Structure formats: C-alpha cells, structure tokens
C-alpha cells in the first residue's frame, strides 16, 4: 500500500491557511473541519504546519493573547513530508519516530495531499482484515 493509493481513497484536498492568519481563525478552522492540523502556505510554498498541539503550547506559554498572534508565531517551520511512492510501513515509521500525526504529500515542488495517522490506522486495519480473510479461505480449502 502506497501514499498514492491512500490519496486515491481519501482525495487530495489539504486545508491550509496563510502565515498571517490569526491563531483564533486557525482554531475555528480546526474545530469546524474536525481536523488536527492545517498547513501554513505562502502561495504554493509550505511555510509550516500548525497542529492542535502547537495551539496548546502557544496558550500555555503566552496565554489567551496568543490567539491574536499570527499562526507563523506558533507553527512548526521545518516540515517533514512524504511522497506518493512511499509505503504505509514507511509512514508508520516516520510518524512514530518523529512523534507527529500528519504528513503532507509533496511531489516535485507541489503539495498534492496530506496523510494523517487516522488514515494510516484505518488502512492498516483494512489490510489486517484482508490478510485474515485470505488466511481463513486458505485454511478452509487446504
Ligand atoms: P501532530 O502530532 O501532528 O498533531 O503534531 C505534533 C507536533 O509536530 C506539532 O508541533 C506539529 O507542528 C509538528 N508536526 C506535525 N506534523 C509535522 C510534519 N509533517 N513535519 C514537521 N512537524 C510536524
């Protein structure tokens, strides 16, 4: 299973904001879209990623005033991405070792999607179920 097939199932849509968007506006987007992160885009360039954890950290460090600051003050700037040819196993490895739950998908210089840990778990469960089904069929016919 590759990132390409994951995106074929879930689509290529990525929710993004501009670096100058206020944290409170970004929080509203996270809440209304039921998502855990937004990419921070400057035109077609990825400037950073803002996850709910970054919001919590900003509130803890700077209090409610942080909500009026731009997302650029709270986002992670060094964004790790993956490619369409990467495997599900590789995504699990990166998400576990780097301790984050979102990976933008970049091909060349172009953002083409985003994979979350929820997508990964869902597909891994489907893979397990298919493997079990195949084993059951094999045992029945052996
Ligand atoms: P998450 O677990 O994805 O909600 O994010 C945990 C922390 O990792 C936050 O500080 C995020 O900004 C950061 N983060 C999430 N995804 C990425 C990514 N793909 N590359 C770099 N940092 C990330």
Per DSSP, helices labelled H in the chain are 3-10, 23-33, 52-62, 88-98, 117-141
Average per-residue pLDDT for the chain: 95
Q: What is the pLDDT of residues 95-126, one digit of tens each?
A: 999 999 999 999 998 999 999 999 999 988 98
Of ligand 1's listed atoms, the one at least distance from the Cα of 81 is: 19
102 CB within 6 A, ligand 1: yes
Domain count of the fold of the chain:
1
37 CB within 6 A, ligand 1: yes
Distance 55 CA to ligand 1 centre (A): 11
- What is the domain extent for residue 16? 3-141
Backbone angles phi, psi at 36, to 5 degrees: -105, -5
Q: Mean per-residue pLDDT for 77-89? A: 96
Distance 49 CA to ligand 1 centre (A): 7
pLDDT of residue 118: 92
The domain spanning residue 73 has which CATH number? 3.10.580.10
């Amino acid at each position: 299973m590759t990132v390409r097939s994951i995106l074929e199932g879930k689509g290529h849509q990525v929710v993004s904001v501009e670096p100058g968007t206020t944290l409170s506006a970004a929080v509203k987007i996270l809440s209304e879209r039921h998502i855990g992160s937004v990419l921070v885009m400057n035109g077609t360039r990825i400037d950073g990623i803002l996850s709910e954890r970054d919001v919590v950290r900003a509130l803890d460090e700077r209090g409610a005033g942080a909500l009026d600051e731009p997302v650029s003050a709270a986002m992670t700037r060094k964004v790790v991405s993956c490619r369409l040819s990467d495997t599900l196993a590789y995504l699990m490895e990166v998400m576990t070792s780097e301790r984050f739950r979102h990976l933008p998908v970049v091909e060349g210089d172009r953002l083409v999607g985003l994979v979350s840990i929820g997508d990964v778990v869902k597909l891994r469960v489907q893979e397990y179920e298919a493997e079990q089904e195949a084993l059951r069929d094999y045992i029945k016919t052996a």
